Structure 1
Amino acid sequence: MHLAVSLDIASVTGRAGLTLAEIAGFVRKLETAGVDMVVISDSWPSGEPSASPFEATTLIAALATVTAKIGLVASASTLMHQPYNLARRFASLDIISHGRVGWNATLRQNPREAANFGRPEGFSDDDFRRRAEEYIGIVQGLWQGWDADALLFDKAGGRFHDPDKMHVLDHKGEFFSVRGPLNIARSPQGTPVLVMSSLAEAEFDFAARVADVILVDAVSPADAKAACDDLKRRAVTAGREPRAFKTLATLQAGPELGTDHLDHWFAGQGCDGLNLALPADLSALDDFADRILPDLRRRDPARSAHAGARLRDHLGLGAGGEK
């Protein structure tokens, strides 16, 4: 069973004054305990202003230099970035981290975000959904623009790359026009891991077709099992192997959380693991690290040994971009 921890840096930093050193220390504790990945968010879904000094992708670049195994996933908005720039940024982060990076693509619309990027009227829910789906498809296509052996660096022969192994995306869609390819080497994982979260039921079919990891909101193990089973069925209907992606049930980690509670969730739900969303409080983070993580290590010593060096290895996923 896989284990992730979600950390909202905007609300955490604004309320508790976390420093980079404190965040890094906490993430290193997660790594030692064998947590598969940490998911960093830097914006509030409500759209309220944030006091965070950190942008999520910049923060995981810093965390990559002080960790060696844990997966580093950053939320990044489809409104705040052009798809080419975002695809390039995450491919670069994956190189920096030696293959440990993922993008959390949240399809929930922030009510204030569009006004900061030339759309004061925002988008209708349907337009936002179609735009986000097109955007995610472009990013995935750009990540696959270079075959693994496309770059030759052949000085003697004067060949930088094999043209037959470079693929121009040439996307022309409803919302975007992007030629490609990226001007950066292929990701060490094939493609960074695509995580999707905050999904409405209307988005389940799309997520089941394209995501590597889906974070499922649930209030009970039974709800989690129903949602995860539904996503796997939708994947099969779309012609995809249900093992091709992982489903993690998101559990709000309050003060009542203990290993007995976690055991209940692990035993009673049909997802591939849990995503623990921690409250925005420094004392709660310390409590989680000092009380829950040691219990997890004692109960499951093998958890502290990450499988392989890359995030896809930790999660048992194939190389990104495989047909």
Structure 2
Amino acid sequence: MHLAVSLDIAAAAAGQTGLAFAEIAGFVGKVEAAGVDMVVISDSLTSDGPSTSPFEATTLLAALATVTDRIGLVAGASTLAHQPYNLARRFASLDIISHGRIGWNATLAQNPREAANFSRPEGFSDDDFRRRAEEYIDIAQGLWRGWDADALLFDKAGGRFHDPDKMHVLDHKGEFFSVRGPLNVARSPQDAPVLVMSGSSGADRDFASRVADVILIEEQSAEAANAASADLRRRAIAAGRKPAAVKVLLTVEVASEPDVDRFRALLGSCGCDGLDFALPADVQELQSFTDRVLPEIHRLGLAGEDQKGATLRARLGLGEGGAQ
């Protein structure tokens, strides 16, 4: 059973200025101690007002990596706000800093307000955005596989920096991007950062089932979650992947008064690999979660049972390399 916490640092309550770094770090430290597998940080713009996020999510991950030891650290990052080479390099660098605990929460959903900040005031059509995002994600994963594990030699005496036979040039030329590669950072400690995606529509589920390591599905009844999880696994197998290569987590919204009994019931009946607790940037609600939910998680032995290995990929039982 795997557990995640999704923290939207842009979702501060009215009149609040958002969480300070010390508050975020303190909370992440508590969920790490409780055995939670990963924390997912998002800071996306809202559709009806300015973001209240005090931090850019990947920068926050770099800071959190220095004050944590075991928990996986996942950040949402837009395919509109970054070029694929730069973003792939950033996540690969973060993975080295964290000793293999990094993930990218990628989305196929478009935010029109975001596009206007990056020279696209008209945005994209939904179909163009989806095709562009899929191409972008494929590029990032290809770049992460650009160096074999033993490709870098650092042989000063012999004058060899790397083994050219173990370096793979991507040389991607697609509809939206042209990227040569490889990355100018070493291979990730876990071969590739963990790719987290949300699966909603049929087209999105096909793609997510083909490339994602973790798929988050929206909160729904246990029966519906069972059906959605089974559907995603069928699609993954149809794409030639092993059943264990993708983990499905059911997202549950955590209210001010968490219903621990409901969470416990869902864990036993939803047919997923675990739960993703969605929390807002509110100090009192974070405190309520750590006071009421984390002790129950510990008491019931729901977290920490599958933790083997130091990397996030190993912790989740995903194997090496991703998308297998």
TM-score, normalised with respect to structure 1: 0.96
Q: Distance in 1 between matches of 2:105 and 2:311?
A: 17
* Secondary structure, counterpart of 1:218 in structure 2: coil
Q: Distance in 2 between matches of 1:253 and 1:139?
A: 32
* Unpaired segments ≥5 residues, structure 1: none
Displacement of 1:268: 1.1
* Secondary structure, counterpart of 2:287 in structure 1: helix
* Secondary structure, counterpart of 2:113 in structure 1: coil
* Secondary structure, counterpart of 2:80 in structure 1: coil
Q: Distance in 2 between matches of 1:47 and 1:315?
A: 36
* Secondary structure, counterpart of 1:3 in structure 2: strand
* Secondary structure, counterpart of 1:27 in structure 2: helix
Cα-to-partner distance string for 1:164-212 (whole Å, 9 max, x where unaligned)? 0000000000000000000000000000000002633321101100000
Cα-to-partner distance string for 1:283-321 (whole Å, 9 max, x where unaligned)? 010010111111211221762884221101110011125
Please tell me whether the aligned partners of residues 245 and 323 of structure 2 are also in contact (alpha carbons under 8 angstroms): no
Matched to 1:87, the amino acid is: A
The residue number in structure 2 matching 1:8 is 8
* Secondary structure, counterpart of 2:116 in structure 1: helix
Displacement of 1:256: 4.2
Residues 113, 299 of structure 1: alpha-carbon distance in 2 compared, 3 angstrom cutoff: same
1:314 aligns with 2:308: no
User: Where do 1:116-265 residues align within 5 Å?
Assistant: 116-197=117-198, 199-265=200-266
Cα-to-partner distance string for 1:119-141 (whole Å, 9 max, x where unaligned)? 11110000000000000000000
Residues 34, 144 of structure 1: alpha-carbon distance in 2 compared, 3 angstrom cutoff: same
Q: Distance in 2 between matches of 1:46 and 1:219?
A: 24
Displacement of 1:51: 2.1
Matched to 2:32, the amino acid is: E
* Secondary structure, counterpart of 1:226 in structure 2: helix
Q: Distance in 2 between matches of 1:30 and 1:12?
A: 20
Matched to 2:64, the amino acid is: L
* Secondary structure, counterpart of 1:68 in structure 2: coil
* Secondary structure, counterpart of 2:140 in structure 1: helix
Q: Distance in 1 between matches of 2:245 and 2:269?
A: 22
Please tell me whether the aligned partners of residues 108 and 199 of structure 1 are also in contact (alpha carbons under 8 angstroms): no
* Secondary structure, counterpart of 1:215 in structure 2: strand
Aligned residues, how many? Answer: 323
Matched to 1:208, the amino acid is: S
Q: Distance in 1 between matches of 2:233 and 2:197?
A: 15
Q: Distance in 1 between matches of 2:48 and 2:124?
A: 15
Displacement of 1:225: 1.1
Residues 285, 35 of structure 1: alpha-carbon distance in 2 compared, 3 angstrom cutoff: same
User: Where do 1:62-141 residues align within 5 Å?
Assistant: 62-141=63-142
* Secondary structure, counterpart of 1:102 in structure 2: strand
Please tell me whether the aligned partners of residues 36 and 71 of structure 1 are also in contact (alpha carbons under 8 angstroms): yes
* Unpaired segments ≥5 residues, structure 2: none
Please tell me whether the aligned partners of residues 171 and 179 of structure 1 are also in contact (alpha carbons under 8 angstroms): yes
User: 17-26 or 91-100: which moved more?
Assistant: 17-26
Please tell me whether the aligned partners of residues 40 and 73 of structure 2 are also in contact (alpha carbons under 8 angstroms): yes
User: 303-312 or 208-217: which moved more?
Assistant: 303-312
The residue number in structure 2 matching 1:57 is 58
Residues 322, 204 of structure 1: alpha-carbon distance in 2 compared, 3 angstrom cutoff: closer
1:43 aligns with 2:44: yes
* Secondary structure, counterpart of 1:278 in structure 2: strand
Displacement of 1:258: 3.3
User: 277-286 or 89-98: which moved more?
Assistant: 277-286
The share of aligned pairs that are identical, in percent, is 70
* Secondary structure, counterpart of 2:280 in structure 1: coil
Matched to 1:2, the amino acid is: H
Q: Which has the higher helix share?
A: 1
Displacement of 1:45: 4.8
Residues 223, 148 of structure 1: alpha-carbon distance in 2 compared, 3 angstrom cutoff: same
* Secondary structure, counterpart of 2:112 in structure 1: coil
User: Where do 1:295-310 residues align within 5 Å?
Assistant: 295-300=296-301, 303=304, 306-310=307-311
Question: Superposition RMSD on alpha carbons, in Å?
Answer: 1.7
